[in-house]
Amino acid sequence: MTSSLPGFLFAIPFFAAIVIPVVGFTNQKLCRPIALGALVFLSIVSVIGLSEAISHGPLSHEFGGWAPPIGIEWVIDGLSGLLMVAISVVSLIALVHAGPLVEKELSGRVIPFYSLSLLLIAALGGMVLAGDLFNLFVFLEIGSLASYVLVGVAGGRSLLSAYRYLILGTIGASLYLLGVGYFYAETGTLNMADMALRLPDVLDSRAVLTGLIFIVLGLSIKMGLFPLHGWLPDAYTYAPDSCTPLLASVVTKVPLYAFVRIAFWVFGMATVTTQIPILVVLGWVGAVAAIVGAYRAIWQENFKRMLAYSSVSSMGLIMLGFSLGTETGFAGGLFYLLADTLMKAALFGVAGAASYQYGASTVTDLARLRRNMPWVLAALVISALSMVGIPPTAGFFGKWHLVVGALEAEKYFAVVAILVTSMLTALYFFRMFQRVWAEESLPLVEPHVLETPFPIKMSLGVLTFWIIALGLGSDLVMGLIFESVIPKGF
């Protein structure tokens, strides 16, 4: 049973995505229960998979009776298991939140919304579990196609954003596939574990260096890393409110996971810091991305666009952590990735709630939350404090470990970047709250409604709970990362 867990983690959302159009054709109301039921089951199996990987070592599943490296292999280890838990749980919460929003803004497209969301989640799981570089590419593109449609499903301005996302995403995928081709030409294998054994003999090859550059560029576009983030602000701004919590929380994190897997498990720590010092370059790129993203967020009037640039900044911080070259830096980067997944789901969830209730889209419009939406306002406050890095939230402990990792590595530019980013983040959220409490309350659109629908309240409550709980349990999570996730070579 345990050897089949990797297959189950993909099959659960994938088959639900297939069933929904068939069942929804006769009864559309069944789409939501099927989707949520599948994600509850996926979350349970993900937790079991992580527990088994921690207790008994990595779980491997071979397909078609062909043993790796020739055959296809899916693997659950500490890193992939932890990412699968994060993807499944946050996706479940995001779809709970989306229920009322889908009925309002996508009433004629409920079936494609739930089917594509589950297809996206299945593809993200496939990327996390894939043991070879080509299957990672296949799932990368399946997930990207689902993302493009989810961004543009509402029509109007979102279609142009989806088209731009498609063009840049296709360039990113092409670069990644070119890089994989160079690796295969030099090593004769696509399996990551097998490639890790063969690469030391061909590291002097220009083909390997070229392949790595192509892969890094391709994945950087997919994860929205500055300055290759051109698709992200418009996509997050104009995508339907029912889609953005899911898209913003997990979609960019998995390409980052792919980079981490290739850099640290295929090439190894020594290679990417000395022989091919890609981490040195990405450390500076991450520092600049963190500061520039936070600076650009200050000047945005549209709330979702502000959060989009905040996502660019967060991706820079996470990349900075992974590039530090210390165990604490790596663990801090992974911890902040988990924290940012929760924070972005909560913040874009707040944006959706404000739009659902009052049609609020600008920072000034958030003044409407003050009167009749205390639950949503509380979620906004806690999430914002975590983004700034105020204890005891998860954001504070993530940044704390990043700073400690930077000090251990004696990379003081990283410490400066983290502190400057935190100050800029405090500035744009202070500007937002100044509007919320200083502006006169705008006229109520629906004065008889006291709060948002229960699914939205519940999802925001759960997310803010986990933002605080992850912070309070940071020692436990960091211990898990140090014990079961840190790759060899530090």
More confident residue, 84 or 364: 84
Contact 18, 10 (CB under 8 A): no
Rounded mean pLDDT of 372-383? 86
Could you report the per-residue pLDDT of 291-317, keeping only the tens digit for each? Answer: 999 999 998 989 899 999 999 999 999
Rounded mean pLDDT of 457-471? 93
- CB neighbourhood size of 419 (10 A): 13
Rounded mean pLDDT of 226-248? 90
Rounded mean pLDDT of 60-89? 85
Could you report the per-residue pLDDT of 12-54, keeping only the tens digit for each? Answer: 999 999 999 998 888 888 889 999 999 999 999 999 999 998 9
pLDDT for the residue numbered 119: 94
- Does the pLDDT of residue 446 top 60, yes or no? no
Rounded mean pLDDT of 428-457? 70
Model confidence pTM above 0.75: yes
Residue 374 pLDDT class (50, 70, 90 cuts): confident
- Does the pLDDT of residue 444 top 50, yes or no? no
Rounded mean pLDDT of 193-205? 87
- Does the pLDDT of residue 441 top 80, yes or no? no
Task: Identify the weakest region by mean pLDDT among 106-110, 183-187, 396-400.
Answer: 106-110
| E strand or H helix that includes residue 6 | helix 5-24
- Does the pLDDT of residue 285 top 90, yes or no? yes
> b or e along 333-346 (b: 16 or more beta carbons within 10 Å of the residue's beta carbon)?
bbbbbbbbbbbbbb
Distance CA 119, CA 162 (A): 17
Distance CA 33, CA 284 (A): 46
Distance CA 293, CA 305 (A): 11
Residue 435 pLDDT class (50, 70, 90 cuts): confident
411: burial class by Cβ within 10 Å (0-12, 13-18, 19+)?
A: buried
pLDDT for the residue numbered 256: 94
- Does the pLDDT of residue 442 top 80, yes or no? no
pLDDT for the residue numbered 83: 94
- Does the pLDDT of residue 474 top 70, yes or no? yes
Nearest-CA neighbor of 141 among 130, 155, 152? 130
pLDDT for the residue numbered 139: 93
- Does the pLDDT of residue 445 top 60, yes or no? no
Rounded mean pLDDT of 145-172? 89
Mean per-residue pLDDT over the chain, rounded: 88
Rounded mean pLDDT of 328-348? 94
Share of the chain above pLDDT 70, in %: 96
Helices 253-260 and 133-152 meet at what angle, rounded to 10?
170
pLDDT for the residue numbered 89: 95
Contact 248, 344 (CB under 8 A): yes
Residue 61 pLDDT class (50, 70, 90 cuts): confident
Distance CA 321, CA 257 (A): 13
Residue 450 pLDDT class (50, 70, 90 cuts): low
What is the domain partition of the chain in residue ranges? 277-490
